[in-house]
């Protein structure tokens, strides 16, 4: 899993996983492990059909508890059909078959899983997987529409080759999509109604048709901040430099390459947002006269003249309104807190996060970061080296606390 998705702050949450009879059932074991790494407790129900593909013992061996099967096989849990509805914070059905969708839509309760789902008071997260003809059947689509109308989260299956040899929509959704929707279902939506803008990653400034001036930013920190805001209910727009990072479909992603492209995208979206967090490692300069052709060694020495790029953070900071909250990042190699205080004032920020890119476990391309945080009210803190996902979550906690 990419580091910006590896959240670990769900200790005390319980997620119940329902597994139906599909060839994709074995993938639910990996989903279980992904969710366990967040600190959440997992329980499961394996339908008799699913047990033909993967056994209840497999889930028990991986730490799920309790694990239910047939309705009448659990003498020590007489009211197991009501259990998740009483104690679970979230309920995921993955994979969900066409038969399961029909039961859930019609309120049938003739087995353990359907009864538990009917008794669960919250919204279900449903990840269908089936043959494309079953998926496209009118009855299946009507059942899906009913479930969505009731507020359940239905993750569309993917297109591709099926186990049966056919091709079309019906493949088990990407595990990361199910994982994040499960986490969102158990997350307090304390950023609901807020619009958030994030910039992340490096920019690239070409000096011929194949070479560019850039930096080693991976975009992990900004992506973690973006996903954390989305999990907490915000409407998120992420302006991404050239990075290899997966983001959920719920995030409006705008891909750019150069600093000027990032400036244009950020400037266009900034007036409509409530908060912005600019984490991108933007190239301060660009080659003034990039060559259209590839530079050849035979041409002699390489001399590149540079021009300044627009300062995105300072420009938009000067346009910030009283209703907007602006967060900046400072990648430094010395005097972190001093430089943070200077940039906080110079760029009209509400909060700045500085990190020493030379420190162990920090900086570009790392899954962790150790930061100093300073706000406009004079409060400052230095945090130990933490997963970037945890840093991102804490930054929004700080904003909400001001």
The 10s digit of each residue's pLDDT in 52-67 is 999 999 999 999 999 9
- Structural contact between residues 129 and 22, judged by C-beta atoms closer than 8 angstroms: yes
For the domain covering 195-401, report its CATH number: 3.40.50.10300
Residue 184 token pair: 């969102």
> Which residues are part of a known binding site for CTP?
284, 294, 310-313, 329, 343, 347
pLDDT along the chain (402 residues), means of 10: 96 98 97 98 97 96 95 71 92 98 97 96 97 97 98 96 89 97 98 98 92 93 98 98 97 98 98 98 92 78 87 97 96 90 95 92 91 95 96 98 91
Among 162, 164, 109, 102, which residue's Cα sits nearest to residue 137?
102
Phi, psi of 81 (to 5 degrees): -70, -15
Identify the helix (H) or strand (E) that includes residue 47. Answer: none
Query: Annotated binding residues, as ranges?
Result: 284, 294, 310-313, 329, 343, 347
The rounded distance, in Å, linking the Cα atoms of 29 and 101 is 21
**Is residue 115 annotated as part of the catalytic site, yes or no?**
no
| pLDDT at site 358 | 87
Give me the catalytic one of 106, 159, 164, 209. 164
Bridge-based pairing state of the strands 351-356 and 371-375: antiparallel
**CA–CA dist 280, 271 (Å, integer):** 19
Six-digit token string for 351:
């909060």
* Residue 208: predicted pLDDT: 86
pLDDT of residue 251: 98
| Identical fold, 3-185 and 195-401 | yes
Provide the residue ranges of all domains of the chain, joining segments of one domain with +: 3-185, 195-401
pTM over 0.85: yes
How many CA atoms, within 13 angstroms, populate the side-chain half-sphere of residue 366?
Answer: 18
Which pLDDT score is estimated for 260? 97
How far apart (Å, rounded) are the C-alpha atoms in residues 173 and 158?
A: 6
Supply the pLDDT for residue 162: 85
CA distance 64 to 55: 12
Looking at residue 333, what is its pLDDT? 85
Pick the CATH number of 3-185 from 3.90.650.10, 1.20.1060.10, 3.30.390.30, 3.40.50.1950: 3.40.50.1950
The CA distance from 18 to 390, in Å, is 28
The pLDDT tens digits for 93-142 are 999 999 999 999 999 999 999 999 999 999 999 999 999 999 999 999 99
pLDDT (0 to 100) of residue 7: 98
Model pLDDT, residue 253: 98
Tell me what pLDDT residue 74 has: 66
Q: Could you tell me which of 39, 36, 45 has the C-alpha nearest to residue 63?
A: 36
Quote the pLDDT of residue 73.
Answer: 74
């Amino acid at each position: 899993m990419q580091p910006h998705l590896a959240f670990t702050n769900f200790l005390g949450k319980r997620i119940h996983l329902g597994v139906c009879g599909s060839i994709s059932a074995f993938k639910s074991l990996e989903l279980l492990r992904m969710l366990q790494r967040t600190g959440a407790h997992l329980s499961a129900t394996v339908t008799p059909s699913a047990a033909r593909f993967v056994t209840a013992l497999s889930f028990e061996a991986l730490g799920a508890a309790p694990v239910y099967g047939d309705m009448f096989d659990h003498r020590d849990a007489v009211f197991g059909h009501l259990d998740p509805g009483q104690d679970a914070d979230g309920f995921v059905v993955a994979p969900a078959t066409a038969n399961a969708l029909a039961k859930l839509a019609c309120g049938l309760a003739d087995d353990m899983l359907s009864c538990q789902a009917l008794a669960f008071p919250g919204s279900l997260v449903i990840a269908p997987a089936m043959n494309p003809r079953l998926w496209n059947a009118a009855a299946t689509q009507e059942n899906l529409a009913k479930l969505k109308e009731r507020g359940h989260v239905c993750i569309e299956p993917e297109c591709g080759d099926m186990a049966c040899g056919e091709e079309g929509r019906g493949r088990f959704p990407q595990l990361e999509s199910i994982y994040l929707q499960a986490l969102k279902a158990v997350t307090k939506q304390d950023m609901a109604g807020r619009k958030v803008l994030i910039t992340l990653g490096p920019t690239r400034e070409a000096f011929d048709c194949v070479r560019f001036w850039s930096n080693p930013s991976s975009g992990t920190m900004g992506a973690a901040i973006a996903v954390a805001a989305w999990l907490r209910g915000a409407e998120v727009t992420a302006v991404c430099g050239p990075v290899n990072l997966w983001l959920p479909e719920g995030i409006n992603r705008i891909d750019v390459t150069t600093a000027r492209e990032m400036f244009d995208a950020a400037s266009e979206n900034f007036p409509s947002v409530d908060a912005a967090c600019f984490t991108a490692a933007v190239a301060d300069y660009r080659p003034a006269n990039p060559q259209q052709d590839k530079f050849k060694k035979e041409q002699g020495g390489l001399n590149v003249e540079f021009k300044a790029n627009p300062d995105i953070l300072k420009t938009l900071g000067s346009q910030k309104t009283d209703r907007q909250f602006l967060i900046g990042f400072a990648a430094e190699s010395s005097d972190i807190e001093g430089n943070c205080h200077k940039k906080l004032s110079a760029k009209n920020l509400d909060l700045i996060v500085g990190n020493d890119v030379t420190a162990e476990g920090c900086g570009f391309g790392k899954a962790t970061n150790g930061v100093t945080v300073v706000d406009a009210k004079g409060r400052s803190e230095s945090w130990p080296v933490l997963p970037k996902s945890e840093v991102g979550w804490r930054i929004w906690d700080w904003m909400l606390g001001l």
